[in-house]
Amino acid sequence: MEGERKIRTFHRRVTPKSAGLRLDTYIFVSGTGLSRTQIQRAIKEGKVLVNGRRARASYRVKAGDEISAEFEYYEPPTDIVPEEGDVSILYEDEDIIVINKPPGVVVHPAKGHLTGTIVNFLYHKLINAPGSERKRPGIVHRLDKDTSGVMVIGKSEVAVRDLARQMATKEAKREYLTVVWGDIPKAGTVEAPIGRHPIYRERMAITVINAKSAITDYEPLERYGFATLLRVSLRTGRTHQIRVHMEYLGHPVVGDPTYSGRDIGTITGILKGVSAPVEEILAAIDRQALHAHRLTIRHPTRGKFMEFVAPLPEDMERLLRVVRGAKVG
């Protein structure tokens, strides 16, 4: 079943704080609950007006602009199921929850994953908590199923809107740790557009077809000759961005089954004769060695900057013990 067809209306006056945002970004961070694709489709169809006139998605909103819109969407036929689950909470107050997401757990319910997600677990927590303004957790950014690390979730409507704005404008800073194949001697930047793979639709790829700009900064922290521990930060937030960019750079993330990180032929080519315990390394971790290590945000109601660090999970600690102890030939 597709769900119940509904119409959602939207009307806002742009504040000076939001001036300069793209029109589609402004609507996205304003708490509509719609995806960027849905918003961009509505703009293209002329269902979004700026001061009573149609505008492009790329229009930069100005303070005082009157934005009105009408969105058609389908209400999901099933509701979120509250479930008891173990969630590692790094920080919590009346507005936000910061968690250390474990690997192997999906963030949001979707087809094939209606239960056992972070949202299911946090929903159970919130509906049983007295005085919580918002009972459903407000997801403002996501991590891949097999990526671990720090995430912030909104508990109030104000928090959800402001956190979404911080993510979209990159006021929020996200830093990752990853182990990649090969030796990377110095810091650098990958700038290459990412879009859906033209053949394998579950994958992303470097492409100019229906792609969006993507920029990733990286810095080596430890070099092992056959692999490198990197600190990575994102200037954009595309699906699978770090994994796709590292493969494009010629240094796929260790253990990544989708982007060459477990492909022996590719790994052998990268090492170019350098002997390394490849099988032992791959046995140490059964997912991509990627961890969201640090998150910096401005608290949505108190205004102060806050930094949260998620310790490495056991499988990445195990991987680092193996690569640090390996002898390079």
Cα angle: 207, vertex 212, 217; to 5 degrees:
90
CA distance 9 to 300: 25
144 belongs to the catalytic site:
yes
Among 15, 21, 29, CA closest to 61: 21
Q: HSE of 84 in the Cβ direction (CA atoms, 13 Å)?
A: 0
Report helix, strand or coil for 227: strand
Q: HSE of 218 in the Cβ direction (CA atoms, 13 Å)?
A: 28
Q: HSE of 55 in the Cβ direction (CA atoms, 13 Å)?
A: 23
CA distance 264 to 46: 51
Catalytic annotation, pick one of 24, 65, 95, 144: 144
Q: How far is CA 162 from CA 136, 151, 231, 253, in A?
A: 16, 15, 27, 32
Residues taking part in catalysis: 144
